Amino acid sequence: MIRPRAALLLALPLLSALLAPSAARAAEVNLYTTREPGLMRPLTDRFTQETGVKVNTVFVQGGLAERLAAEGSRSRADVAMVVDVGNLMELVDRNLTQPVRSQALESAIPAPLRDPQGRWFALSTRARAIYASRERIPEAEAAKLTYEDLADPRFKGRVCIRSGQHPYNTALFSILMIHHGEAWLRDYLTKLHANLARRATGGDREVARDILAGLCDVGLANTYYAGLMLSGQGGEEQKRWGEAVRVILPQAETAVNISGGAVTRHAPNRAEAVRFLEFLASAEAQSMYADANFENPVRPGTPVNPIVAGFGTLTPREVSLPEVASRRALASRIVDEVGFDR
């Protein structure tokens, strides 16, 4: 006959064995991201160093929402991280995120840059700037440029831009539509298309490249691309591209997009997911993010990279991010209707 005490002692090893895998699983967080893993690695490594929580990064180049929806309750994803407000809102609209209440996140991230219900959080802002030729656009003229100016006849055959359907541009067009109206945007895109020096294609860095080559004089591109080029991270050739342009932030009306993250609906490691987002909003991580990616931190008081600081003070155009996302489909349709990418 086995006494109760002896039975308990015999059961303890079995109980420990059963609990051990669960504890091991709790010491990890699974990140699904559309951001290149190399850009995130310094942050994920630092988080693991500080907390002991391992970050398993899954790079999803496209269709992140579709993948999460297909995986459903079987998904191992804990945190979803994307660029562009439209992609972030798609996750929310498809019920692929869950609410989070966190004093750390709410105190670090200004209210306009997070969901009131905690279903998404901006982690950096991305300014859509005007690139202007240092050689052919006088500094005084460049400093006064606005997005609206690029549709002016004086820039006929002088504008370069990537596809109008790219999320960076549909977000900008949505912001302009909110301020000016649908009819205005249709007219603006028609006139802007008439001013293009080449077909709307390529990427933001190619805008600087083509300005250096004399193919165009002005264009639209994100500020962090200029930071990457000027820092030499893209090599000496791209550094020359960056040096050929002035980066103009339209004063009091710069269009700003975001990168952001959310805890997924079926996160198996919810506590670790929240902890990871809190880390990404911390002063340390925000500084690392600014220096590594040349984007603008969301945490107030966090300095931007010195190269980015040289572009001037960023004053975002006031607009609701969910409203920007809600207008994106209409902006995309107008891009097609005016034949912008043809």
168 labelled as ligand-binding?
A: no
Q: Six-digit token pair at 33? A: 């991201």
Please say whether the beta carbons of 178 and 324 come within 8 A. Answer: yes
Please say whether the beta carbons of 79 and 276 come within 8 A. Answer: yes
CB burial of residue 87 (10 Å; 0-12, 13-18, 19+): buried
Within a 10 A sphere around the Cβ of 275, how many other Cβ atoms? 18
Tell me the backbone φ, ψ of residue 151, rounded to 5 degrees: -95, 0
* Distance (Å) of CA 141 to CA 114, 285, 314, 316: 36, 37, 19, 21
Please say whether the beta carbons of 177 and 330 come within 8 A. Answer: yes
Query: How many angstroms separate the CA atoms of 60 and 35, rounded?
Result: 8
CB burial of residue 69 (10 Å; 0-12, 13-18, 19+): middle
Query: How many angstroms separate the CA atoms of 109 and 210, rounded?
Result: 37
Please say whether the beta carbons of 277 and 103 come within 8 A. Answer: no
DSSP 8-state assignment for residue 270: H
225 labelled as ligand-binding?
A: yes
- Positions at the binding site: 224-225
- Positions at the binding site for Fe cation: 224-225
